[in-house]
Structure 1
Amino acid sequence: MSELNARFRARIGLPENEEISFDSLDRVLERTAFAIPFENLRIMERRTGEITMPNLMHQILDNGEGGVCYELNTILYGFLRDNGFDVALTRGVVYNYEAGAYSALGRTHVTILLNHGGQPYLVDTGFGGNLPLTPVPLTGEVATSRNGAFRIPSGDGEPGEHVLEVMLKHKHNEWKIGYAFDPGKLMTDLAECNDIQHTIAEHEQSAFNKNPLVTKLTPRGSITVTDSSLTRWVDGVMTKEPIDRDRFRLLLREEFGLGLQAPR
């Protein structure tokens, strides 16, 4: 067993002797989503470094941190690869509902394509609170998990040939566009993640370099904190309360297991 395989299993609480099959990927995706938060603290604290698999292992598996899409999906990609899955990384462009258009930042979302039985699927653990906790086929067929329904109807080729659509349980009553991606344009080098990271960390229109954000799914909903608010979803009921920076630091430790300092 590779070092990445063993340490990733330890992080998400998966026994070393448990064989992972396609049918058990739902369990892997749930455990990953519950254990590893989506967070931008490295960006906010200007602690970003080169995106390599050893660096991601140190960050996520040694330090117990989370990350954003190019960190979370890249390490999950490595774990799935080491467990014998046919996987590749590809880039997507997120839909911006405030602007009513796809993000001006371009293809800055990193996601995973997995081939099984001659059928391609999308796997994603780096899309914040919109995670499909199951592989989603690229056929338009609806895939469901405990947090909602997901589908990928074919697009029109612009800006990607396929579009992930999301209908979250308790939150949506219609399909919402997540992001577009082109399954024919695979990433061939992790170095692409460094270009993406630079854009996310430095671009004036980036949503992730303005305020700290930490979120993860839970068995009954989700929890999200910023440096000014705490939001919980529990069994479809949302509560939100204001917090100060001291409470923010406390929540990072107590709710997410993060020992990082809040941005100053």
Structure 2
Amino acid sequence: MTTINEMFRNRIGFPPDEPINFDHLDKVLEKTALALPFENVRVMNDSITDISEESLKEKILESNEGGLCYDLNSILYLFLSNNGFNVTLIRGVVYNQTQQKWSDTGRTHAAILLYKKGRRYIVDTGFGSNLPLKPVPLSGETVSSRNGEFRIEKEASNHGNYCLYMKRKHKDEEWKKGYAFDPADTVTNLSDLNEMQRIIVSHPASGFNKQLLITKLTHNGSATLAGNLLTTWADGKMKKEEVDENRVKELAKDVFGLNLL
């Protein structure tokens, strides 16, 4: 039987026999961001399934779909675990930049906490196009990638005692809050994420149950399809285009590799 390790490497285009250590993670995260779209197709199609190792394998590695944070970070968590990393899944609360407040959906962001030699890092491939593309230490240092600058500050709030901040390249002039989390709020079993998925699917404040959303990093920027609006960033320049239903299906296939019904 083909393992998650083999299938994940094949999906993101990582050599099958190349060992992975901490210094390789930026390469893994870059390839993952380019290969796996952040998308809510199954939510909008009302075709979600319970979260498990087998369902994630089928959805992302066999059917070549993407998913939301609890899909993408869960499959990455399984892959990293299979490659000897000390990792766990945690919950976070996303900061709504439009409304300038914490999301009313509560702790519905899943991320990965990685332990290495007494230090802790956040690893995240499920935060839309706001991906650090590198492990971000909980000790406060700033990490930089082609996607911008990211850091984690220790600060107490009702939503956790740490907060991820971001200053996205070409998009942010000042640091912005990403999400708050408590490293102790770990996910014991993948099935625990079903409650998170239920809230995302049904909560009135959820940003993922209103219209189709697909986004993915590209080699020189990002592409986002929200409803019938395509937004692309290329070399620091933004372009917006309204598209009809047929074009939406074409873009989903050509840009994001997804087949819409």
> Is TM > 0.5 for Structure 1 vs Structure 2?
yes
Give the secondary-structure state (helix, strand or coil) at the position aligned to 1:199: helix
Give the secondary-structure state (helix, strand or coil) at the position aligned to 1:34: helix
Q: Aligned pair 1:68/2:68, yes or no?
A: yes
Q: Aligned pair 1:162/2:162, yes or no?
A: yes
Partner of 2:199: 199
Give the secondary-structure state (helix, strand or coil) at the position aligned to 1:163: strand
Distance in structure 2 (CA, Å) of the matches to 1:179 and 1:58: 29
Structure 1 residue 226 displacement after superposition? 2.4
Which moves more between the two structures, 37-46 or 93-102? Answer: 93-102
Give the secondary-structure state (helix, strand or coil) at the position aligned to 1:57: helix
Distance in structure 1 (CA, Å) of the matches to 2:238 and 2:120: 35
Partner of 1:255: 255
Partner of 2:132: 132
Query: Where in structure 2 are there 5+ consecutive unaligned residues?
Result: none
Structure 1 residue 41 displacement after superposition? 0.5
Partner of 2:188: 188
AA at the equivalent of 1:158:
N
2:39–2:66 Cα contact (<8 Å) kept: yes
1:226–1:248 Cα contact (<8 Å) kept: no
Partner of 2:211: 211
Structure 1 residue 118 displacement after superposition? 1.2
Give the secondary-structure state (helix, strand or coil) at the position aligned to 1:152: strand
Query: Where in structure 1 are there 5+ consecutive unaligned residues?
Result: none
User: Structure 1: which 4+ aligned runs deviate by more than 6 Å?
Assistant: none
Partner of 2:53: 53
AA at the equivalent of 1:159:
H
Give the secondary-structure state (helix, strand or coil) at the position aligned to 1:120: strand
Structure 1 residue 260 displacement after superposition? 2.3
Distance in structure 2 (CA, Å) of the matches to 1:38 and 1:182: 24
Q: Percent identity?
A: 51
AA at the equivalent of 1:110:
A
Partner of 2:114: 114
Structure 1 residue 114 displacement after superposition? 0.3
Distance in structure 2 (CA, Å) of the matches to 1:130 and 1:111: 13
Distance in structure 1 (CA, Å) of the matches to 2:226 and 2:100: 25
Give the secondary-structure state (helix, strand or coil) at the position aligned to 2:155: coil
Distance in structure 2 (CA, Å) of the matches to 1:157 and 1:256: 37
1:93–1:103 Cα contact (<8 Å) kept: yes
Which moves more between the two structures, 187-196 or 43-52? Answer: 187-196
Give the 5 Å matches for 1:84-123: 84-123=84-123
Structure 1 residue 184 displacement after superposition? 1.6
Structure 1 residue 219 displacement after superposition? 1.5
Distance in structure 1 (CA, Å) of the matches to 2:116 and 2:125: 18
Distance in structure 1 (CA, Å) of the matches to 2:196 and 2:11: 26
AA at the equivalent of 1:48:
I
What is the RMSD of the two structures over their aligned residues, measured on CA atoms?
1.1
Structure 1 residue 2 displacement after superposition? 6.8
How many matched pairs? 261
Partner of 1:43: 43
AA at the equivalent of 2:80:
L
> Normalising to structure 1: TM-score of the pair?
0.97
1:138–1:152 Cα contact (<8 Å) kept: yes
Structure 1 residue 116 displacement after superposition? 1.0
Structure 1 residue 97 displacement after superposition? 2.2
Give the secondary-structure state (helix, strand or coil) at the position aligned to 1:8: helix
2:111–2:126 Cα contact (<8 Å) kept: yes
1:227–1:245 Cα contact (<8 Å) kept: no
2:73–2:112 Cα contact (<8 Å) kept: yes
AA at the equivalent of 2:13:
G
Give the secondary-structure state (helix, strand or coil) at the position aligned to 2:230: strand
Structure 1 residue 205 displacement after superposition? 1.2
Distance in structure 2 (CA, Å) of the matches to 1:57 and 1:196: 19
Structure 1 residue 99 displacement after superposition? 2.5
Give the secondary-structure state (helix, strand or coil) at the position aligned to 2:80: helix
Distance in structure 1 (CA, Å) of the matches to 2:222 and 2:157: 33
Give the 5 Å matches for 1:236-247: 236-247=236-247
